[in-house]
Structure 1
Amino acid sequence: MAMVTLTELNGASDEAFVQTLSSIYEHSKWVAELAVEHRPYSSVSELRAKMKEIVDQSSVEQKKRLLLAHPNLGERIQMTDLSKQEQQNAGLTDLTSTEYDQFLRLNQTYMDTFGFPFIVAVKGMDKAAIYQQMQSRVKNSAEEEFSTAIEEVHKIAHIRLQALCS
């Protein structure tokens, strides 16, 4: 993903703005579509805060769709380029067959328990730390885990926006 300045984002057409920010929240272009209405932004922090606010003020159903847009960690499926890169950097694309089976089983248990995939901002984590978090968080209450998953989505968005904007 090519870097872009805040000045370029503020001056871009609505369509270009949305296209540029459409992958900040995984397969959830609607966040960028609502954020475009609040330009110009005085800082990347202000843009990040507005996008977070848009998600936080959305309906529970919209938030659940946002969570469902994320891939299962370690799963060998079609995903966005950003997700592929993030998972590769965490070692999740190089799982042994045993590790893959363990992730697959735990992902299924998590999905069966909460109804959405396990989500964690993997930057700086390795596959062992991610697996440990999965084992721990699958024991959370539904409300606690929904809130935790949304916060992890925000962390991912923050990391992606920092990588994109200067």
Structure 2
Amino acid sequence: MHDPLATFSHLNEADFIALFSRIYEHSTWVAEELWRQKAAHPSEYFDSIDKIQTAMANIVEHSSDEQKLILLRAHPDLAGKAALAGELTQESSSEQAGAGLDQCTEEELAHFLQLNDTYREKFGFPFIMAVKGATKAQILTGFETRTPNDWQTEFDRAMSEVHKIAGFRLADL
């Protein structure tokens, strides 16, 4: 039986960073720091996906608020302009398609675009939700219930959702 954890531990630096940079959207710095930690403590991170996930989450959580905000802003809008232009990462495209966001009617799409704009204008980053297993209706409810939040509450929630997305992406490796 093939052990993916053994494969991870034997990757060279470039392949390791290329693989793990897909976990946190457009945030190669997380994978680069994980590589540095792995090099310093090779046995600590690669005996379970949970440990890899925890290590990556800790890297993000111990970064500056400015770096976290950059990470949040690296995420695409749900059913937004990047999706329409075909500019999503493979992971984001798959996640959004799984929630049916690639099958929106014109009215649904217009509604999502309006919600995205309102949310981004208020908070300065996109609405982020781990949409794996969610429906369009659940995503719309998420917009409606979260948009009234204050900035700090929503920043914390968005960071929590980013970590959920990372967990899904790691599990898919």
CA apart distance, 1:4: 7.6
Give 1:58's aligned residue.
63
Residue aligning to 1:33: 32
Give the count of matched residue pairs. Answer: 162
Q: Cα offset for 1:29?
A: 0.8
CA distance in 2, matches of 1:4, 1:138: 43
Task: Name segments (4+ residues, structure 1) moved above 4 Å.
Answer: none
Pair 1:4–1:151, CA change in 2 (3 A): farther
Residues 1-166 of structure 1: pairs in structure 2 closer than 5 A: 5-39=4-38, 40=42, 41=45, 42-75=47-80, 76-77=84-85, 78-164=87-173
Name the structure, 1 or 2, with higher relative contact order (CA <8 Å, separation 6+): 1
- Cα shift readout 1:87-143 (whole Å, capped 9, x = no counterpart): 001000111000001100010000000000000000110111101101110011100
d(CA) in 2 for partners of 1:31, 1:73:
23
Alpha-carbon distance, 1:38 to partner: 2.0
Give secondary structure in 1 for the equivalent of 2:158: helix
Cα distance in 2 for partners of 1:49, 1:43 equals 10
Q: Matches of 1:140 and 1:25 in 2, distance apart?
A: 24
- Between 1:148-157 and 1:34-43, the stretch displaced more is 34-43
Taking structure 1 as the reference length, what is the TM-score of the superposition?
0.94
Which blocks of at least 5 consecutive residues in structure 1 are unaligned?
A: none
TM normalised by structure 2 equals 0.91
Inter-partner Cα distance in structure 2 for 1:63 and 1:163: 24
Amino acid at match of 2:160: E
Unpaired stretches in structure 2, ≥5 consecutive residues: none
